[in-house]
Amino acid sequence: MTRLALLLACSPLALAFSNTAPFIAWSSHSSSLIDRLPSAIDTLHSKSLFDTILLNDDVCNHQAIVLVHQPGLHASDLRQLSKSSHIARSLSSAPSTRQYAYPLSTSDEEPFEFAQSVSKKCQSRLVNVRPGHSYSGSEKSIVVVNMPGIAMEGSHRKDVMAEHDALLSTTLDSLPFSNRVIIYTGSASILSKRQEDLATPDRPVLDLASSSASSPSTMATNKSGILHRYQLLTPGLIMVLLIVLFIFLPILYFGISALASIQSPLRLDALPKGYNASERKNQ
């Protein structure tokens, strides 16, 4: 029973971090497109984030929306980035940022469907730029950058992420747009197992913001992201609590009650000779 309860408790916790990918966004100028996104989440789908951006009236006000997609990206990969990395420096200095550690992703096509929808709505050019390559167009554009996927496990991921961060820095620096929004997200298989995240499920993503002083507006925006607070009630934790309260504890209670109600039968050979129950009662 103990092993079964442990298995039931661990299963939803693993599912809580599978089929999720981090979602971070920042802008070169103050952007209501980002500021109107929710500052904190309990359970959120990445599709709802894309829909919120798409329905925003200011979605077409920027020269470019750059969508960076990296298959296999984990929240722990961002957590391990150094403060001097391009992503960390961009988030710490950007006037508008949002950071989500574990939004659910139901389809790997969500980012590309979003890019096509924005391009159609804003009559913008949809461009695919290879990592490390430049783009010289000046018209309003939706730029899609497909980063190499991350499939390995262990300490090698940190080194690979550092290389990809430098590659992304080169790509973004080559873009001619001064007023732009960058959205960086990933995708993961439903069956993928986030061992790094499961090792510390209650730990927030790495605080990528700089520790140096900044303006009050920037600090208020940066500290509203999930990277600055613990996400206490995750879907997995809620499911574990429900299983323990409504399945494990009742089974344990009825099991103990059943064991307590079992009585050993009275042995006839243990009664004294000549013993008569009816006579004993009459006495």
Residue 271 has pLDDT above 60, yes or no: no
The residue range of the domain holding 109 is 20-233
Task: Note whether 36 and 95 are within 8 A (CB).
Answer: no
Bridge partner list, 199? none
Query: Is 241 within the bounds of a domain?
Result: no
> What pLDDT is stored for residue 222 in this prediction?
45
What confidence tier does 29 reach under pLDDT thresholds 50, 70, 90?
A: very high
- For the chain, the average pLDDT equals 76
> What pLDDT is stored for residue 82 in this prediction?
92
Query: Is 255 within the bounds of a domain?
Result: no
Percent of the chain whose pLDDT exceeds 90: 42
What confidence tier does 229 reach under pLDDT thresholds 50, 70, 90?
A: very low
Specify the residue for token string 């499939």. 151
What confidence tier does 138 reach under pLDDT thresholds 50, 70, 90?
A: confident
Query: Is 11 within the bounds of a domain?
Result: no
In this predicted model, which residue has the larger pLDDT, 181 or 267? 181
Report pLDDT digits (tens) over 159-176: 999 999 999 999 999 999
Query: Is 81 within the bounds of a domain?
Result: yes
Q: Provide the token pair at 135.
A: 């783009």
Query: Is 83 within the bounds of a domain?
Result: yes
> What pLDDT is stored for residue 63 in this prediction?
95
> What pLDDT is stored for residue 31 in this prediction?
94
Cut 0.85: pTM above it: no
Average pLDDT over residues 186-214: 47
The Cα–Cα gap between 125 and 64 comes to 9
Task: Note whether 74 and 203 are within 8 A (CB).
Answer: no
Domain count, the chain: 1
Query: Is 212 within the bounds of a domain?
Result: yes
Query: Is 185 within the bounds of a domain?
Result: yes
> What pLDDT is stored for residue 179 in this prediction?
95
Highest mean pLDDT (candidates 115-119, 186-190, 267-271):
115-119
> What pLDDT is stored for residue 52 in this prediction?
93
Residue 81 has pLDDT above 60, yes or no: yes
Q: What is the DSSP track for the chain?
A: -HHHHHHHHHHHHHHHHTTB--EEEEESS--HHHHTS-S--SS-BHHHHHHHHHH-GGGGSSSEEEEEEEET--HHHHHTS-TTSHHHHHHHH-SSEEEES--B-S-TTHHHHHHHHHHHHHTPEEEEE-TT------S-EEEEEEPPP----TTHHHHHHHHHHHHHHHHHHH---SSEEEEEEEE--TT---HHHHHSTTPPPP--S-SS---HHHHHHHTTSGGGS---S-HHHHHHHHHIIIIIHHHHHHHHHHHHH--PPPPGGGSPTT--HHHHHH-
